[in-house]
Structure 1
Amino acid sequence: MEVVAAVAAWAVTSVCQNAGSEHWLSAVCRRDGNATDLAGRLSPGAAIYTPGSDGFINATSRWSVFDAPTVNIVVVPATENDVAETVKYANEQDVPFLAVTGGHGAITTVGRMKTGIEIWMNHLQDIEISADGASAKIGGGSLSKRILDTLWAAGKQTVTGSCECTSLLGPGLGGGHGFLQGRHGLIADQFLSMNIVFANGSLHHIDKKTDADLWWAMQGAGHNFGIVTSVTVKIYDIEYSDWAYEMFTVTSDKVEKFYQTINAAIPNNGSLPVNVIHYGYFYNDPTIDSKGPVTAFWILQEGATSVDSAYTQPFHDLGPFATEAGSGNYLDLPVWTDLDNSAAPCQHTGFANTRFPVDTQTYDPQAMRKAYDLFAKASLETPAFNGSFFLIEGYSLQGVKAIPSDTTAVPFRDGNLLIAPVIRWDPSDSTLAQKAADLGNELRNIVFEASGQSELLTYVNYAFGDETKQNWYGFEQWRQDKLLAVKDKYDPLRKFSFYAPIA
């Protein structure tokens, strides 16, 4: 605590030395009849970071730096009330604010936050399991790895994102896919109650009984209505401790057969068995295939020490370049699938990473071939895109589809597959941004046009930012009307309009 307080004091001194008397930051430094310094409002454990400090650099680093928000000062709350006080202060100074947890929100709309306050939720990571073991209260800044480990040690688990370094609430407020969704539904489906700071800086405890419409909206479009400082979620006894995987590396000459095999492996209703997950991506690796992208594809099975050959044999029959198999427990899944804290998706290395998602019901092998060929051609013509990849995710869906579609703001529960090109490049080359957007959208459109769907369905947590509100939150007019009504009630001044805004 003393160290954190000392850092905060140093940071405030830095602000005072660099802010002119007319700058809004100057109010951090003074105490008079009209303005109270921000540091004096915060708890002793809170911190304030300014540009140039190590704390500021850590707090503002992002997985994707393209169209990142412009931050003048970072507040690191130590209590939920610190969040409320920071929002009140920002309102008094008429400056924007944005809450950040894992730093993986790559949607370009966050770049509309200019010269504002970042509220870095990093210190709000407490996890409290209820006495009856049926729920856990989780701090708004908690990351998946901490949650997984804490619950597992208590013989419990819940639905989190697949990546260890993302937060629970970042994806959860937009629905939130995860490895356990086949059994229990999306992350948002686990919410029981939450503490939330509204746009006026007031801190409230809410649940379904408090305001049914707001609760509905928080489960799928929650970034638009407040800052969730803690959430209470359902947790479950660990029913199956064993997990197994097989991974296949497939070269570009087998694209059509590969996707035909996946389609054949999924029953007619489009759902994998509740204990089976498909996860993969294709990427450039000329040491394996100089003619086109290479595919890494995992089959994961719960409750097994080896994946049932009924699920894997068809892929062995393809003659993959390489295979790998192993077993362990649920905590090993991020390591197997390159989603752990040491893997590339968890590194903030200064690159732009933009995603272009589309939900589909099945793979079109010819369309996937077209996407592979375009991906290879673009990588050859623009070597700066060589680090790009293309996600192909097929989660089990029984728990997701069991939730009636109209009971939450999550719009597309019937989508069987989540497909998303991820275009990666060095943003220091300003000529690449438009090329990257064009390539990502062209790849996405290839998949969409072959899907037979009349509308583009996009997972909001992967969104690029040029999609419509309907693409993010559903095409039914009643959905759009209901979201707007909740927005008008709880955020009439549009303070929360940076992450996939509904208005």
Structure 2
Amino acid sequence: MRSLRDSSRTPHGSFQLVHIFEVAFTHIPVASQNRLYTTCSCSIMMTVLRVINPLNCLLAALIAPVLGLTGVSFTDLSDNLSPRAEICLPGSDCFINASMRWSAAIRPQFEAIVKVYTESDVQHTVRLASDNGIPFFAISGGHGTHQALNNVKGGIGILLRGLNKVTVRGDIASIGGGALIGEVTQSLKERGRETGKTLLLKTRCLYLKPLVAAGACDCVGYAAPLLGGGHGYLQGRYGLIADQLIQARVVLGNGTVVTTSKSRLPDLFWAIRGAGHNFGIATELKVKTYPRTLRTKNWTIAQFTFTGDALERIVGLSNDWLADPHPPVELSHTAAFGFDPLTNNMLIVQPVINVFVLWQGNSIPPEYTDPLRYLQPVSMSTRTTDFRGINAGLGADINGPVCQKDASHFQYGVTSRKWDVDGVRKAFSTFSNAPEWLRNSFVILEAYGWEAVEKKSDAATAFSQRRDRAIFAPIITYSNNACLDALANEFGKRLRDQMVESIESNGGDANAYINYARGDEDLKDIYGANYARLTELKAKYDPGRKFVFYNPLPMP
């Protein structure tokens, strides 16, 4: 039997409590010790009804895994796992590394993290958790910021990174459920093909889609954006990321595995394309790919920087492009406003607006750049590169600053048919008054092509927002500090709610994009007209409600 550091079992012999504390604490890295002390200090600061001794708080954090919260031994699971699989228990370097997330403000509490390498590993882990009433969820890139993830207490994380194989046969790619976007794009680039990816603007990853699609942010998992629909630069030509899915292997909540496609379990296939986080763990995805040609391999990016007085004219111009009934499929555009001390007066710090026009080709037609030049930007630049060049240039490669896991982030997403100019201005004004500790945050205004997206009905897949062409996406970023989480979340929700209220007061419909949802939105604003059918399928495929940590559907 493989060696297993099973600290969830009570050790043999008579140990003094202090000795357990001393041994456990000395084996925790200094950074982790500091995080535990910070948690205790925060408890003291935020609790007025009782006083918590920092030592007791530290002891509780350390002793829980020693004594075991579930009474379940992982030895039997270890015997059934593949040779490379590993069970990481609290206090080990393996556990600390596996539990790190893009947002340090998302803190699920695990009793163990299982690093899986085969589909069978996933099945055995799910069965152990399900049979013993232990919460679990799958991890690939670890970028989700949904608030329900913090509801995991004494759970098991299933780290899918070992399932990262990418194979291509003809125009179909088979992608492991743990593959990162960078791994997918690199593998397909070597074969002269492309599929779903992401683009980074400043410090934010925007989920893209397949060439199927365009972009960067190598450290995001490929499966998660697809399961939520998935927007991207080539959606005007090919549709959403989810529209590229041909077949999926899915482990259900009882540990059984099924293959789903248009002809096999078609109702499940419909559901996982837009609400997939509710139904199982995707271990393999077969997706369409498209050849890269001399005409499509390069992208030209024009960047314009403006002060806040140009906001209404920028948003109006974007709305004009969004109203085009037949926009060029090569075009995507997006904007982001945030604080940039390099372009602000040192005494008067105000947000600036960066506008990005992206064109699939070697040059951008002047009708999409001249109107922005006319607005007299503070600065402007243009460059042509391939997808991998976008990654490196924007710091979104696997070792780039955007992929580092040392800060706290919350994200939000409001979708609508077009931009609400009043709402954008209100959000900009609120954002301008952000406290200094939140000034690494920013707000993204995303807009992509839509012709191929809107050719399908809202009922074609579980993704119901095909008519929404504008995505308002605040990204709240700050130094890791649990004591600031509530204030940061309040600020982000204020930006989101201002936009929703303005859209609705002006007669529009505001929805919530599932891949950016915070978790307190009305589920009908996420799932739309598909809500009722999805609740019925939830009861059919997840009757035990095992998948409840990402926009979870209720039972009918």
Query: TM-score, structure 2 length as denominator?
Result: 0.81
Displacement of 1:429: 4.8
Displacement of 1:343: 4.2
The alignment status of 1:82 with 2:121, answered yes or no, reads yes
Displacement of 1:433: 3.1
The one-letter amino acid of 2:462's match is: A
Displacement of 1:169: 0.8
SS at match of 2:254: coil
Aligned to 1:404: 457
The question of whether the paired residues in 2 share the 8 Å contact of 1:250 and 1:296 is answered with yes
Aligned to 1:246: 302
Q: Deviations over 1:377-434 (max 9, x none)?
A: 1x2xx2221111101111111221122221100010111111111122345252x333
SS at match of 1:176: coil
- Cα distance in 1 between the residues matched to 2:400 and 2:502: 33
SS at match of 1:352: strand
Q: 1:387 aligns with which of 427, 431, 440?
A: 440
Aligned to 2:532: 481
* Structure 1 residue runs without a partner (length 5+): 30-36
The one-letter amino acid of 1:433's match is: D
Q: 2:429 aligns with which of 370, 373, 379?
A: 373
- Cα distance in 2 between the residues matched to 1:22 and 1:301: 55
Aligned to 2:14: none
1:129-148 maps to which residues of 2 (within 5 A)? 129-130=168-169, 133-148=170-185
Aligned to 2:102: 63
Q: 2:550 aligns with which of 477, 499, 503?
A: 499
SS at match of 1:159: coil
Aligned to 2:498: 446
The one-letter amino acid of 1:275's match is: E
SS at match of 2:380: strand
Aligned to 2:271: 217
The one-letter amino acid of 1:300's match is: L
- Cα distance in 1 between the residues matched to 2:352 and 2:67: 57
Aligned to 1:295: 353
CA pair 295-454 structure 1, distance change in 2 beyond 3 A: closer
SS at match of 2:353: strand
The one-letter amino acid of 2:541's match is: Y
Displacement of 1:15: 6.1
Aligned to 2:289: 235
Q: 2:341 aligns with which of 283, 286, 294?
A: 286
Aligned to 2:203: none
CA pair 95-368 structure 1, distance change in 2 beyond 3 A: same
- Cα distance in 1 between the residues matched to 2:509 and 2:423: 17
- Cα distance in 2 between the residues matched to 1:373 and 1:23: 47
CA pair 297-21 structure 1, distance change in 2 beyond 3 A: closer
1:264-343 maps to which residues of 2 (within 5 A)? 264-269=320-325, 272-289=327-344, 290-302=348-360, 304-343=361-400
Displacement of 1:453: 4.7
The alignment status of 1:437 with 2:489, answered yes or no, reads yes
Displacement of 1:192: 0.8
Aligned to 1:192: 246
The question of whether the paired residues in 1 share the 8 Å contact of 2:440 and 2:478 is answered with yes
The alignment status of 1:97 with 2:152, answered yes or no, reads no
Q: Deviations over 1:347-391 (max 9, x none)?
A: 211x321122111222344432222121011x2xx2221111101
- Cα distance in 2 between the residues matched to 1:193 and 1:417: 29
SS at match of 2:355: strand
- Cα distance in 2 between the residues matched to 1:22 and 1:406: 46
- Cα distance in 1 between the residues matched to 2:232 and 2:479: 29
The question of whether the paired residues in 2 share the 8 Å contact of 1:168 and 1:187 is answered with no
Displacement of 1:209: 1.5
RMSD over aligned CA atoms reads 2.2
- Cα distance in 1 between the residues matched to 2:384 and 2:5: 48
Q: 78-87 vs 318-327, which deviates more?
A: 318-327
The one-letter amino acid of 2:370's match is: Q
- Cα distance in 2 between the residues matched to 1:280 and 1:454: 21
Displacement of 1:22: 6.7
SS at match of 1:405: coil
* Structure 2 residue runs without a partner (length 5+): 12-62, 200-216
- Cα distance in 2 between the residues matched to 1:341 and 1:248: 26
The question of whether the paired residues in 1 share the 8 Å contact of 2:229 and 2:274 is answered with yes
SS at match of 2:310: helix
1:104-123 maps to which residues of 2 (within 5 A)? 104-123=143-162
Displacement of 1:496: 0.6
SS at match of 2:384: strand
The one-letter amino acid of 1:329's match is: D
The one-letter amino acid of 1:38's match is: L
The question of whether the paired residues in 1 share the 8 Å contact of 2:4 and 2:78 is answered with no
The one-letter amino acid of 1:280's match is: A
Determine what percentage of the aligned residue pairs are the same residue: 33
Q: Deviations over 1:309-329 (max 9, x none)?
A: 221111111111111111122
- Cα distance in 1 between the residues matched to 2:136 and 2:521: 23
The one-letter amino acid of 1:355's match is: Q
- Cα distance in 2 between the residues matched to 1:25 and 1:46: 22
The one-letter amino acid of 1:138's match is: I
The question of whether the paired residues in 2 share the 8 Å contact of 1:183 and 1:399 is answered with yes
Displacement of 1:308: 1.9
Q: Deviations over 1:434-478 (max 9, x none)?
A: 33233222222332333335543011110111101112111x2xx
SS at match of 2:382: strand
The question of whether the paired residues in 2 share the 8 Å contact of 1:15 and 1:50 is answered with no
- Cα distance in 2 between the residues matched to 1:400 and 1:95: 39
Extract structure 1 runs of 4+ deviating beyond 4 A: 13-23
